[in-house]
Amino acid sequence: MFEGKNGTNQNKIDDLGDDHISTSAQTPLRADAFKMSNEDKIKAIEADFKHILETLGLDLTDDSLKGTPRRFAKSYVNELFSGLNPAAKPKLSTFENNYKYGEMLVEKNIVLYTTCEHHFLPIIGRAHVAYISKGNVIGLSKMNRIVDYFAKRPQVQERLTMQVVQALQQALGTPDVACVIDAKHLCVNSRGIRDIASSTVTAEFGGAFKKDSVKAEFLDYIKLETDYNIK
């Protein structure tokens, strides 16, 4: 049993990651997270990943592998984890609810791709988001974009669910926002227990959605068949 810095038990740290436990509702970022330019980050990650591949015994002079460290680094900075940068957050413009729509609005089956922060393996699933207007409405695509923004960072599913709700609550000026995510974790499906059939469901219900009747209505909407075979 290894006692790490400040008496932290290494087995406990390993168990926390293996059990997919989150320590915060906010993404843990250092204060200097954005001092380096994206290009400098790419160069640093490229060198580090090159070392990892060489440590694994791979021949990086092979045509198939020689460009892999930079491709990997670019995908991390520009794509997979671009949501770490607040500058990438979509502008959540809202509009007055002039048509006085007073029922819940549900955007469901939002495809999401994110990355498990414990093993850096993909999480793939769908998000279902809803809100009840208190005077303002938001463009439908913005709901998809806010899911995508928070998904593009190392994540735990519980935190992602909460972050989506909190961002929309702030933009819309209402607590009446809900999100349900159903996703497959490749760190569960492809390693460890290797259970390829299981998925994880998380939910965050705010304001009126905490009422059983409103929550049930939202969950019923999620179950509706929406495959219209549009080609």
Domain boundaries of the chain, sorted by first residue: 5-87, 92-223
Which tens digit of pLDDT belongs to each residue from 93-127?
999 999 999 999 999 999 999 999 999 999 999 99
- The pLDDT of residue 32 is 95
Mean pLDDT of 17-44: 84
Give the residue from 6, 229, 28 showing the smallest Cα distance to 118. Answer: 28
Residue 115's DSSP bridge partners are 122, 154
Which of 3.40.50.2300, 3.90.1580.10, 3.50.50.60, 3.30.1130.10 would CATH assign to domain 92-223? 3.30.1130.10
Look at residue 115 and give its three-state secondary structure.
strand
Share of residues in the chain with pLDDT > 70 (%): 88
| 4: pLDDT strictly greater than 70 | no
pLDDT tens digits for range 163-195: 999 999 999 999 999 999 999 999 888 877 777
With tokens 């509702």, the residue in question is 25
Contact 178, 205 (CB under 8 A): yes
pLDDT score at 187: 82
Please name the residue that has the structure tokens 């498990």: 116
- The residue among 53, 179, 194 whose CA lies nearest residue 119 is 194
Residues assigned a catalytic role: 116-119, 157, 185, 187
Q: What's the mean pLDDT in 133-159?
A: 96
Instruction: Report the C-alpha gap between 58 and 15 in whole angstroms.
Output: 30
In whole angstroms, give the CA distance from residue 19 to residue 25.
Answer: 17
What pLDDT score does 194 carry? 79
Does the pLDDT of residue 196 top 90, yes or no?
no
How far apart, in whole angstroms, are the C-alpha atoms of residue 137 and residue 160?
22
pLDDT at 180: 98
- CATH superfamily for domain 5-87: GTP cyclohydrolase I, N-terminal domain (1.10.286.10)
Percent of the chain having pLDDT more than 90? 80
